[in-house]
Amino acid sequence: MIRAATLGDAPAIAGLWNAMIRETLSTFTTIEKSTAELEVLIAERSGSVFVATEGSGVVGFVTFGPFRGGPGYTATVEHTVIVAADAQASGMGRALMHAAEDAARQQGKHVMVAAISETNTAAQAFHARLGYTEVARMPEVGRKAGRWLDLVLMQKIL
């Protein structure tokens, strides 16, 4: 089931996000998210954070927010979507993305951007299946675990 995130979901979202930070090159940051930080994000982005639940637990989330500052970019958003490994290929990611895209449209947004590590080819393929197009590949703009990493930008006109 997909639903709007609540403050009570912050620990589960932190668990999913921090596992990705610690265990993968899919995000370039090494700084983990605190529950308090995610409570603020959920409160500030009301209507822009959704969770996927299975049984009694959160198995994925999506959030979107400003792509860049300034009035010329107000109709463009960037998203983060993470689904637990054991819930991938179950339709949860697709359902989360549909919820985020629908909410963005209702908020008057025009473009949604995905910034994806070159190493995350599964995410690139997932976004392509959802109609996202690669619009840029930025060589060696990220660094993690002693490696220079490319950033792939994909976008979808909503």
57-108 confidence digits (pLDDT tens): 999 999 999 999 999 999 999 999 999 988 888 899 999 999 999 999 999 9
pLDDT of residue 39: 98
pLDDT of 120 strictly over 90:
yes
**Range 2-157: architecture per CATH:** 3-Layer(aba) Sandwich (3.40)
Encode the chain in three state secondary structure: CEEECCHHHHHHHHHHHHHHHHHCCCCCCCCCCCHHHHHHHHHHCCCCEEEEEECCEEEEEEEEEECCCCHHHCCEEEEEEEECHHHCCCCHHHHHHHHHHHHHHHCCCCEEEEEEECCCHHHHHHHHHCCCEEEEEEEEEEEECCEEEEEEEEEEEC
Residue entry with tokens 């107000």? 74
Contact 51, 3 (CB under 8 A): yes
pLDDT at 51: 98
- In the chain, domain spans: 2-157
The structure's pTM equals 0.94
> Could you tell me the CA-to-CA distances from 105 to 26, 41, 81, 102, 158 in Å, in that order?
27, 20, 17, 5, 7
Question: For the segment 128-144, what is each residue's pLDDT rounded down to a tens digit?
Answer: 999 999 999 999 999 99
Given this model, what pLDDT does residue 68 score?
95
Q: Considering only residues 85 and 150, tell me which one the structure prediction assigns the higher pLDDT.
A: 150
- pLDDT for res 3: 97
Mean pLDDT of 6-30: 97
Average per-residue pLDDT for the chain:
96
CB 46 within 8 A of CB 63: no
For 26-55, what is the mean pLDDT? 96
pLDDT given at position 77? 98
